[in-house]
Amino acid sequence: MWRGVTAARSTSTTSRLRWTSRSMLSTGTSRRHCRTDGRIEGTTGMTTSSADVTTTITAMLHAVDDRDWDTARALLAREVTVDYSSLWGGDAATMPSGTLVESWQGLLPGFDVTQHLLGPVVLAEADEQHARCTANVRAYHHLSDGDTPRTWTVAGRYQMNLVRDAHGWKVSGITLRLAYEEGDRSVVEIARKRLADGAAFGGFPRKSRPGT
C-alpha cells in the first residue's frame, strides 16, 4: 500500500473521549459535548461514533488486502491527501481517489498477500462532518521468491482524516508516521517485476486451509 502512492509524487475505544477544538478555545465558543460512550455530540445534536469511524477505516484496509478495489474506492473521499514521506521521502500529495487506488493496483497484487493490522483507533477530534483519528499499524507484505519466503513489515502510526457524506464516513487523508521496518524492502521491486511479467495474486485468503 505504500510505494504506489509515491508514484503520484506531488478494537476498543477510550470510554471517556475528551475533545476540544483549539479554534473554539481561542474564540470562547463552547466545546462539543463529550459523552461517556465513545461518541462526540455536535451543536446540532448529531453524534460521531468512534465505532463508525473505526469500521470505515478497517473496511477500507480489508478491501485493500482483499484486492477489492471497488469497495476500497467507495470508502475513500473524492480526493485523498496521502503522506508516506516518513517511509519514502518526498512530499504529501492530494489526488483523486481513483488515482490512489490505481497506485495500489500497480503494486499490491505482486505480493502473495498483504495484511494491515490496526491497533485501537483513537478519535482525536470530530464534528458532524469531519473526523481525525490515529491508530498504530503493522503492515505485512509477503511473497515467495523462488523457494524462499520473504516478508517486509512496516510498523508505525496512521493519522487519518475522514469526511461524512450521505453514504457515511469516507477516508480523506492518510498519513504514516514510520516507527521501524523489519525485513527487506527490496521485495517491493520483486512485486513490481512479478506484475510486469503478468503475475498477479488475489490477496488475503478467503477460505481456511484444508484440515483447519
Give, as one character, the DSSP assignment of residue 208: P
C-alpha separations of 172 from 45, 52, 80 in Å: 24, 15, 5
pLDDT score for 48: 64
User: Measured between alpha carbons, how far is 45 from 180 in angstroms, rounded to an integer?
Assistant: 42
pLDDT band at residue 3, thresholds of 50, 70 and 90? Answer: low
CB half-sphere exposure, 179, CA atoms < 13 A: 11
pLDDT above 90 (res 155): yes
pLDDT score for 202: 74
Specify the DSSP element, H or E, that contains 83.
strand 76-83
- Residue 112 CB partners (closer than 8 Å, separation 6+): 142, 143, 144, 201
Domains of the chain, with CATH numbers? 3-10+50-196 (3.10.450.50)
- Tell me, yes or no, if the pTM score tops 0.85: no
pLDDT band at residue 39, thresholds of 50, 70 and 90? Answer: low
Q: Between 209 and 111, whose confidence is greater?
A: 111
Backbone angles phi, psi at 116, to 5 degrees: -105, 115
pLDDT above 90 (res 74): yes
